[in-house]
Amino acid sequence: MGIFGGTFDPPHLGHLVAASEAAMRCELDEVVFVPAGDPWQKNHRAITDAADRLAMTRLAVEPDPRFRVSTCDIDRPGHTYAIDTVADVRAEYGSQIDLYFIIGADSLENLRTWHRVDELCEAVKFIAVNRPGHSRREVDVSFGIEVEFVDAPGVAVSSSECRRRVADAEPIRYLVPDSVDGYIAEHGLYRS
């Protein structure tokens, strides 16, 4: 099982492609998307309300039977840490299941700064999805993590770019699922 945590503000096609490639290449039975409750590394900017991010994530993953959404990070008070997410998913699925934590390959560069990283590295294997413009040769994995690199088709889209485009009254169709685009418009999200 893959765990794909993130702010998902909003979820976009790059997230879905990364999860799909990780599932296919690493033979995962399921990928659990876990929207962050209070992401400790995003304290420098305002985050869209958790209920909206959760609703958009559910809409985004709904068409794929391999994907589901967990509310464990939103339900837990305080900062969102990967080690707690893993513990919650492990409690739900049991100790016999192999857990993989899906991240962008560029996130491996700052993995050492993550909360209780040594415990996290013992609890999961990592799937690092290579992003456009990033080379896995630049990533130092010498500190003892199990990581499988997955090259995904280049989808040059980011949540921050989607938010900026909406604020500037530019379309995000084809960058996010149609259902997410409709939700953003209906709820007036990201407008300046």
The three-state secondary structure class of 122 is helix
Q: pTM of the full predicted structure? A: 0.92
Q: Is 90 exceeded by the pLDDT of residue 73?
A: yes
Alpha-carbon radius of gyration of the chain: 16
d(CA 61, CA 4): 12
Over residues 40-54, the pLDDT tens digits come to: 665 667 899 999 999
d(CA 33, CA 16): 10
- Spatial contact of 73 and 5, defined as CB atoms under 8 Å apart: yes
- Spatial contact of 64 and 16, defined as CB atoms under 8 Å apart: yes
Over residues 139-167, the pLDDT tens digits come to: 566 666 889 999 888 778 999 999 999 99
